[in-house]
Amino acid sequence: MVKDVDRRFREILQEVCDENEVNIVELEVMPDHVHLFANALPSISPSDIMAKVKGVTSRKLRQEFKHLHHLPSLWTRSFFCSTAGNVSSETIQRYIKEQKTRG
């Protein structure tokens, strides 16, 4: 996801998160994946958050960008989720911010 797709993805993601009371702490969009550090109430599970994010962003981006029309979905069904209990929030934010500058 680059240029206009990256920009629009960020807008849609923010809308989905706002609707579901999910706070984006840090975000880095890479060409082929996304790093998202978010804070949510315990009443919404990580899998529910990801299902909404992936479903809405995939549908809207494929509708808006012709070069994505041929894709059945933008995302795989997999994702990695972890709690921030073992490291500080600052460490996670720094890790995500540094992703674009890594090899």
How many structural domains does the chain have? 1
Q: What is the domain-level CATH number for residue 23?
A: 3.30.70.1290
Domain around 51:
3-101
The pTM for the full model equals: 0.82
Average of per-residue pLDDT across 6-33: 94
pLDDT of residue 61: 95
- pLDDT, tens digit (0-9, with 9 covering 90-100), for 34-53: 999 999 999 999 999 999 99
User: 89: pLDDT confidence band, cut at 50, 70 and 90?
Assistant: confident
| Cα separation values, 66 from 56, 90, 102, Å | 17, 38, 31
Average of per-residue pLDDT across 64-77: 89
Asked whether the CA dihedral 34, 9, 49, 41 is positive or negative, the reply is positive
pLDDT of residue 91: 81
pLDDT above 70 for 73: yes
